[in-house]
Amino acid sequence: MGFFVQSAWAQGQAAPQGAPMYVNLLMFGGLFLFMYLLIIRPQRKRQKEHQNLVSSLKKGDEVLLTSGMLGKILKVDENYVVLETGANIELKFQKSAVHAVLPKGTVKSI
């Protein structure tokens, strides 16, 4: 019943004024800035670092793939790398699967 009483009381009052238009625009601008700084910018930075890593791959580098596989690069193609993962075992992977370049001698020490 309290709901109806409040409605009847509100009918006697002047219509409430909304916030000015510039306040809404500032809120949307602030939300976009927040999203850009916390989500878009760091993702672009990581993407650029990965692209630099992939473009700098060369024969003889020891790498870690996103699957967790370790190997030494035998051949680098435009889109693929050939890895030696064991004794005379060669596997071909996409360059984008490379997660990190490891220091020399890491594969032999494991």
Among candidates 73, 50, 53, 77, which has minimal Cα distance to 61? 73
Among candidates 89, 68, 88, 90, which has minimal Cα distance to 77? 90
* Final residue of a structural domain among 56, 71, 100: 56
Q: Say which CATH number the domain at 67 has.
A: 2.30.30.100
Say which residue, 92 or 106, is predicted with more confidence.
Answer: 92
Put simply, whether the predicted model's pTM sits higher than 0.85 gets the answer: no
In a domain? residue 1: no
Q: Which domain range does residue 76 map to? A: 58-109
Answer yes or no: do 26 and 36 share one domain: yes
Residue pair 94/82 in contact (Cβ under 8 Å)? The answer is: no
Mean pLDDT to the nearest integer, 77-105 = 94
Answer yes or no: do 102 and 66 share one domain: yes
**Which tens digits make up the pLDDT trace of 7-19?**
555 555 555 566 7
Answer yes or no: do 44 and 25 share one domain: yes
